[in-house]
């Protein structure tokens, strides 16, 4: 029972970190290779200005 308690205490801060990572994603331009971090997919590449080339990288 003591082990279970310890595990619960360790897992909660980890879960919070994972959530933060999930909210942010990296998008990469297929044309020029520029990357942009954001919560949602950018319509336009911030570097070359091309539309529809931003693809989620990870």
User: Site for Zn ion (CB under 5 A): which residue of 25, 28, 42, 47?
Assistant: 47
37 has which bridge partners? 26
* Closer to Zn ion by Cβ: residue 11 or 51: 51
> Among residue numbers 22 through 41, which ones bind Zn ion (CB under 5 A)?
29, 31-32, 34
Separation CA 52–CA 33 (nearest Å):
13
Asked if 44 and 38 touch (Cβ cutoff 8 Å), the reply is: no
**Binding status of residue 48 toward Zn ion by CB under 5 A:** yes
**Binding status of residue 44 toward Zn ion by CB under 5 A:** no
Which two three-digit tokens encode residue 9?
């205490």
């Amino acid at each position: 029972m003591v082990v279970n308690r310890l595990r619960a205490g360790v897992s909660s801060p980890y879960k919070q970190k994972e959530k933060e990572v999930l909210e942010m994603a990296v998008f990469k331009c297929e044309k020029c290779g520029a990357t942009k971090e954001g919560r949602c997919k950018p319509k336009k590449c911030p570097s070359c200005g091309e539309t529809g080339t931003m693809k989620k990288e990870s």
